């Protein structure tokens, strides 16, 4: 069965790729292993030179790469270009800081000299998602390559052209053949790759089910993993908040990337005193969003990535309404031009008065659906925020220092943003707790995720 690149805006099949054969996969694994033997001995300066060249190529090709992302998964072109630029900045960040992050760390012991040295592990498999086709890959690849590892990419099946373009960037930047390779294989072959003794570790960004499957395979093979999974991030607004700023940010925080973001604000938890005004203004702003062709600069919402995602989101919304939730906005198929009729479009949707026990309390809504909850006080807000099985990010809006401290300390999440939208930044660790995964990407912890922290004792 082929790996198809399908335009979610029109339903058109753009290109179909045949999965690599068993002998081709074997050749790629052998090449990765052989390349690692010499690549691990290259200097930080040499790796940084190649990575800076990759950054240059990203910027030179950003228009082409952005268009490919938009065609394959429906991302607005106007946010696809900044994604490429963010990848370039990430490459430069690790080119500048990797050596410092992995410098020897001295320790005072009974030895004449003792220290920790960070050394690479070998070929690392990355199973990556479609929603940020470049960013998700580069935030793994840049630190992994700077640490002296080599990368193997199993990208999402609906973005094969992005996967191929990424490998080409590293190749054209001068990295040795085998330092970074794309594997066009189905998900069913991932466990076999992890089981291969030449692959030393794995990382995955994706669904809970995919993460559990990869972790099980890696656990059986006793190999380390980093998982970044789903999220149902709370966006808490208190009565001391800058309401205008909170509402403006809330629209972006929910609708960015057509609502298909793990760290999107999904549950809006509002104190009673401001709930009515927030709902009124938030609804008006969401209603004004234009749905349409993501290539168009005046469009605010494009299609969902696949028909399956669209169907699941529709079912989740209808289940909430059937359970007694109020449909404030959207929830119905949008009227679009005939050329977009086959696209996976879903309008900005808002649900409120959500009854306890409904799907909204437990599930991640991966699309442009905002869930509104009203609470009496900060205690109730924190309890509701933590009720979800997820723990990726959280945003809280308050001018009260005591409340800020409570949110920082008590919200169960890998990141808490006060008076701002949750986002990833190369300078800060990124990852979740609970069913949102484990381990960290980015900053120092990200590059140390796949290294051997070797104790050295000399007398």
Q: What is the pLDDT along the chain (459 residues), one digit of tens a residue?
A: 789 999 999 999 999 999 999 999 999 999 999 999 999 999 999 999 999 999 999 999 999 999 999 999 999 999 999 999 999 999 999 999 999 999 999 999 999 999 999 999 999 999 999 999 999 999 999 999 999 999 999 999 999 999 999 999 999 999 999 999 999 999 999 999 999 999 999 999 999 999 999 999 999 999 999 999 999 999 999 999 999 999 999 999 999 999 999 999 999 999 999 999 999 999 999 999 999 999 999 999 999 999 999 999 999 999 999 999 999 999 987 789 999 999 999 999 999 999 998 888 889 999 999 999 999 999 999 999 999 999 999 999 999 999 999 999 999 999 999 999 999 999 999 999 999 999 999 999 999 999 999 999 999
What pLDDT does 359 receive? 82
Outline which parts of the chain fall under CATH 3.40.605.10: 3-229+436-458
Q: 236 pairs with which residues across the strands?
A: 269, 396
Question: What CATH code is assigned to 3-229+436-458?
Answer: 3.40.605.10
Q: Which of 181, 187, 145 is nearest to 25 (CA)?
A: 181
Q: Where in the chain are all domains bearing CATH 3.40.309.10? A: 233-425
Question: What pLDDT was estimated at residue 358?
Answer: 86
- Confidence at residue 357, expressed as pLDDT on a 0 to 100 scale: 84
Give catalytic residues, as residue numbers.
228, 262
Report the pLDDT value the prediction gives residue 332, as an integer from 0 to 100.
86
pTM of the predicted model, to two decimals?
Answer: 0.97
Identify the CATH class of 233-425. Answer: alpha beta
């Amino acid at each position: 069965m082929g790996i198809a690149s399908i335009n979610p805006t029109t339903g058109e099949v753009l290109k179909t790729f045949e999965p690599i054969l068993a002998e081709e996969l074997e050749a790629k694994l052998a090449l990765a292993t052989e390349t690692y033997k010499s690549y691990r001995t290259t200097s930080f300066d040499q790796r940084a030179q190649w990575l800076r060249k990759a950054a240059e190529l990203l910027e030179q090709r950003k228009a082409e790469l952005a268009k490919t992302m938009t065609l394959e998964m429906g991302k607005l072109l106007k946010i696809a270009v900044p994604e490429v630029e963010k990848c370039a900045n990430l490459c430069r960040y690790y080119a500048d800081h990797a050596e410092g992050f992995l410098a020897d760390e001295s320790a005072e012991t009974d030895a004449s000299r003792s220290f920790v040295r960070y050394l690479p592990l070998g070929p690392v498999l990355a199973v990556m998602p479609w929603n940020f086709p470049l960013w998700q890959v580069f935030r793994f690849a840049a630190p992994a390559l700077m640490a002296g590892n080599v990368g193997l990419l199993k990208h999402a099946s609906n973005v094969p052209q992005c996967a191929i373009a990424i490998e080409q960037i590293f190749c054209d930047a001068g990295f040795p053949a085998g330092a970074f390779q794309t594997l066009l294989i189905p998900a069913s072959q991932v466990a076999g790759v992890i089981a291969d003794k030449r692959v030393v570790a794995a990382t995955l960004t994706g669904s809970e089910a995919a993460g559990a499957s990869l972790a099980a395979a890696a656990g059986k093979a006793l190999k380390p993993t980093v998982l970044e999974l789903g999220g149902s991030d709370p966006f808490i607004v208190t009565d001391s908040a800058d309401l205008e700023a909170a509402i403006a940010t809330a629209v972006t925080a929910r609708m960015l990337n057509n609502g298909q973001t793990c760290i999107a604000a999904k549950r809006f938890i509002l104190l009673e005193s401001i709930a009515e005004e927030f709902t009124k203004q938030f609804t008006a702003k969401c209603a004004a969003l234009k749905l349409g062709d993501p290539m168009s600069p005046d469009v605010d919402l494009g299609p969902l990535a696949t028909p399956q995602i669209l169907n699941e989101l529709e079912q989740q919304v209808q289940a909430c309404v059937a359970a007694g939730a109020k449909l404030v906005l959207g929830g119905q198929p949008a009227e679009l031009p005939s050329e977009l009729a086959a696209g996976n479009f879903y309008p900005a949707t808002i649900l409120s008065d959500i009854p306890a026990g409904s799907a909204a309390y437990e599930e991640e809504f991966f699309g442009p659906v905002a869930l509104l909850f009203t609470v009496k006080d900060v205690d109730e807000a924190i309890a509701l925020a933590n009720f979800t099985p997820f723990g990726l990010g959280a945003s809280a809006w308050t001018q009260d220092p005591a409340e800020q401290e409570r949110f920082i300390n008590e919200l169960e999440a890998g990141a808490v943003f006060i008076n701002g939208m949750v986002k990833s930044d190369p300078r800060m660790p990124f990852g979740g707790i609970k069913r949102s995964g484990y381990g960290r990407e980015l900053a120092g912890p990200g590059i140390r995720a796949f290294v051997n922290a070797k104790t050295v004792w000399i007398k």
